[in-house]
Amino acid sequence: MKATTKYTFALACCAAAFSLTACAGDKQAASKPAPAQQAVAPTNYVSGDGVLLAYFSRRGENHTDQGIQVLEVGNTERVALKISEKLNQPAYRIQTVKPYTDNFKEMIEVAKKEQAENARPELQGPLPDMKPVKTMVLGYPIWHGTMPMAVFSFLEKVGCDNITIIPFNTHGSSGVARSVDDIRKVCPKAVVMDGTPIKGTLAATADKEAGEIAKKARP
């Protein structure tokens, strides 16, 4: 596929993801966005000025203002799609080879075990090409006080030397918790900015925060 064709395809995917998000309105349970990385070549996630937007998010049961509900778009994903729109580039979704359970209670235990074992869950490819990356906007939920182990896998696998990382996260009540300190440990040669925590239940209305995060990436 020619580069221009790929780029047009990437934009089409983006547009599809945006329109689906827009259709969702403010409801947390919404239609599924296009699984972006299956359609976009890895290098096309990085803009001409070296910005990569990457996020991890889990769809399925989660706490909402209406109790436990099935979220078809995860909270972090919702914010990532808003940032993607502001930056006018697609968002790379970090995904594990072994999918996580939709069941909230089970997920709590699975994540606890992974953290206790300092696991590095295997990731789906293709991973983004980091060579042209100068700035990475990185989104994730807080799981048991830090980012999910899959995000550790991602940073270690793609590498993060000599780049600037702009973290953002969604959470139940913990704020950034240990996550930014942990990113600094995994990426000692990166400039890691302070994180932006967003309460998961407010993800659907986090347009101002998304704008501020996008501005950090492209002032």
Ligand X SMILES: Cc1cc2nc3c(=O)[nH]c(=O)nc-3n(C[C@H](O)[C@H](O)[C@H](O)COP(=O)(O)O)c2cc1C
Site residues for ligand X per CB under 6 A: 57-58, 62-63, 71, 74-77, 107-108, 111, 141-145, 170-174, 200
CB-wise, 110 or 130, nearer to ligand X?
110
* Residue whose CB is less far from ligand X, 99 or 172: 172
Q: How far is the CB of 60 from ligand X (least distance, A)?
A: 8
Contacts of 200 (CB under 8 A, 6+ apart): 62, 63, 75, 76, 141, 170, 171, 172
Closest-by-Cβ residue to ligand X is 200
Considering the complex, state which of residue 80 and residue 214 has its C-beta at the smaller distance from ligand X: 80
- Residue 127's Cβ-side half-sphere holds a number of Cα atoms within 13 Å equal to 17
Q: Interior CA angle at 41 toward 39 and 47, to 5°?
A: 115
| Shortest Å distance, C-beta 6 to ligand X | 28
Enumerate residues 6+ apart whose C-beta is below 8 A from 132. Answer: 43, 46, 50
Return the number of the residue (76 or 135) whose C-beta is nearest ligand X.
76
Burial 91-112 (b: 16+ CB within 10 A, else e): bbbbbbeeebeeeeeebeebbe
Alpha-carbon distance 133 to 45, whole Å?
Answer: 10
Q: For the CB of residue 139, give the shortest distance to ligand X in the complex, in Å.
A: 8
Q: Smallest distance, Å, CB 179 to ligand X?
A: 10
Nearer to ligand X, 124 or 174 (CB): 174
Q: Shortest distance, CB of residue 205 to ligand X, whole angstroms? A: 13
